[in-house]
Every structure is written in C-alpha cells, then in structure tokens.
Amino acid sequence: MSAVALDLPSLDAAQQRLFEITAGRHFPVRFGNDIWRITIKAAPVAWSPEVSIPLKISGEGCELELAFSPGGTLFERNAEFQQISGLSEAFALAIRATLSRELLDAFQTALDAGVEISNEKPTGSLLTLAFGIEDSKGAREGDGLLRFGAETLQRIEGIAASWELTLNESVSEARVAAAFGVAFLEIPVAALSSLHPGDCLVIGDASAWPYHLWVSLGASPIPLGYPVTAAQPKLHTLPVSTPMNDTDTQPSPLENLRLPVLLVAARREMTLKEIGALREGSAVEIGVGEGIPVDLQVNNQTIATGRLVRVGDKICASISEVRALPSA
C-alpha cells in the first residue's frame, strides 16, 4: 500500500512560538452583566469570517475576523447588521466596531495596549492568533482570528503568561485532597526536634488575622497567588505560654537545616476546577468556635498537632502532640 501524502499547513518559527505561549490560555470579556471568555486555540485550516475589522494595536496594522455560532447573542447582533448592510462602507465599519466593542475592549485589556479601528487593511506578513468566544455558561458564541505583526507578537510574548490557563475538562473534574494552611514557615531541625506538648509556636500578628491561605496538593505547598482568606473564627486566649526555643546545646550542621512547615487548618476533597475557581475575596472555612485544630506538616506528613490560640498580640499554634520527624 502506497503512503498518502497529507497537505497540512506548516508553522514557521514565529507562529510556532505564538502557539506555544498562548495555547489553552484565556481572558475575560464582559457582555452586559455577564463575564464571558476568550480562549486561544489552534487556527482552523478553512475560515469564512462574517465580520472583518481592520485595527491598529499600539499603532501596528492588524485585523480582527469573526464568525458567530447560529442562534447566539453575537449571531443575533450580526443578523441585525446584515439587514442594513446596504450602507456605505465607512458607516458599515462603524457598526461592525460597535457590535464588537466588548471584544475590542477585552483585547485592549489583555494586551495592555491601545486598540482602535483603522481605515485601511494591514499589509505585509501577519501572524494569526485563533480564539473561541464562550458565554458565561460555557456555550460557544463564535470564533475569531486576530492577525498582527512582529511588534504585537513581542507584546504577547511578554504578557501571555498572565492570561489564565484552561484545564482539560476531564482533568479539571479530578478530585484531589487539598490541605489549606494558615502559615508556611521554615523552622530549624533542632527546633523541631525539641518541640514538646505545651509549646507555643508564634505564626504571626493577631492584627493581621485572618491570614491569606496556602494550599498543598502534595508535598509542596504553594500560595494561592491572591488573598483568599480563612473565614473569621474565634481564637482561644492562653493565659500563659511556653515559647518554642532552639536547643541550648550547640547544634550540628544538620540541625541548622531549616525544614518547610505548613500549618494545616483545613482539609478538603475538591476538584481542580473548584480550586482554580478560588478568587480574591473567597473564604475557606477552617473551623468554628475556639481552639481551631492545626497540623504541622512537613513533606506532606504530620509531625505535630495543636490548636490556634491568641497569646497577647500574637497568633500561635499551641502544641498538643508531637510525632516523629519524617525520614529522608
């Protein structure tokens, strides 16, 4: 059997680089009171745009092409335009721009650049950024191509990492055990080895409570990246405390090593999609009443348990049980 030659489009180095840094990323677009989403995808082989708008992005000649899903909001807008398509080209361009204003505003924000309507189509070699438009319920509203030159590519290279990344749907629904920590501390091995029940480990100022949370999906805790906070609980006040100190003897070089310790105040089984949906202003319930339980976790293993208390103007972890340090 003879081999069949496939006539597939090839990507030059610049287009390949563009796809690598943008594929699967998305950014928001506001329509009325709803937040929609523009998601970057692979460019189609065949393309029949219904609207073509010449643009200037920071002065560089570009072009935006759009096609709409039948029955959607954008399709209905375009259908209204088609009924008056006998108007002059200048007026038709103004109407196209009005119909697409929200999309232009979204690109202006995502690129951190001035985006304006141009009176002439761009010339020369252009790169293509393909995208899909989804409404607030995830329904496909349309597709588009943004064609641009080298200056806009440099801008995208510098800013695309700040766009959000879309998870594969099957992956995003996977459930994982998430540990939420109120503090992430580096503590010397010597100090951890001398930890006893009754010690109090200072974790921060009471005036800063509630603290921003850390999340651990395994051995390495990471900050959420924005101020998601622990829901406001009550803290028990200890009348007397015994601070945790380093050993009085001269520590060995090994004991000078510091271990990363996560103070876990809540554990939840959540989907990756739910974790990714946490935003600034979100709150995670970590306990009710007084003496919120906490675990001191090293390398995903609990080395001590205790509870959150207030000692003067500090928030501390009052240790109730100490376990062996995890083996290397």
pLDDT at 4: 42
Mean pLDDT of the chain, nearest integer: 79
How many other C-beta atoms are found inside a 10 Å radius of the C-beta of residue 9?
8
pLDDT at 144: 93
Positive or negative, the Cα torsion across 113, 114, 117, 121?
negative
pLDDT at 295: 92
**What's the half-sphere exposure (Cβ side, CA atoms, 13 Å) at 296?**
33
Residue 128 contacts by C-beta under 8 Å, 6 or more apart in sequence? 15, 43, 145, 146, 147
Residue 43's pLDDT band (boundaries 50, 70, 90)?
Answer: confident
Angle at 197 between CA 195 and CA 202, to 5 degrees: 65
Lowest-confidence range among 56-70, 164-178, 221-235?
221-235
In this predicted model, what pLDDT tens digit does every residue of 213-264 receive, in sequence order? 888 876 566 666 555 566 555 665 554 444 454 444 555 556 567 888 889 9
- Sketch out the chain's domains with CATH numbers: 13-166 (3.40.1550), 172-322 (no CATH)
Buried b (16+ CB within 10 A) or exposed e, 257-274: eebebbbbbbebebbbee
Q: Which of 38, 152, 42, 6 is nearest to 104 (CA)?
A: 38
Q: Is pLDDT above 60 for 160?
A: yes
pTM for the model? 0.51
**Residue type at 151 in one-letter notation:** E
Q: Which of 16, 36, 15, 40 is nearest to 26 (CA)?
A: 40
Taking the C-alpha atoms of residue 98 and residue 94, their distance in angstroms, rounded to an integer, is 6
**Residue type at 276 in one-letter notation:** G
**HEC profile of 94-137:** HHHHHHCHHHHHHHHHHHCCCEEECCCCCCCCCEEEEEEEECCC
Q: Cα 160 to chain center, whole Å?
A: 12
Q: Is pLDDT above 90 for 57?
A: yes
Residue 134's pLDDT band (boundaries 50, 70, 90)?
Answer: very high
**HEC profile of 83-104:** CCCCCCHHHHHHHHHHHCHHHH
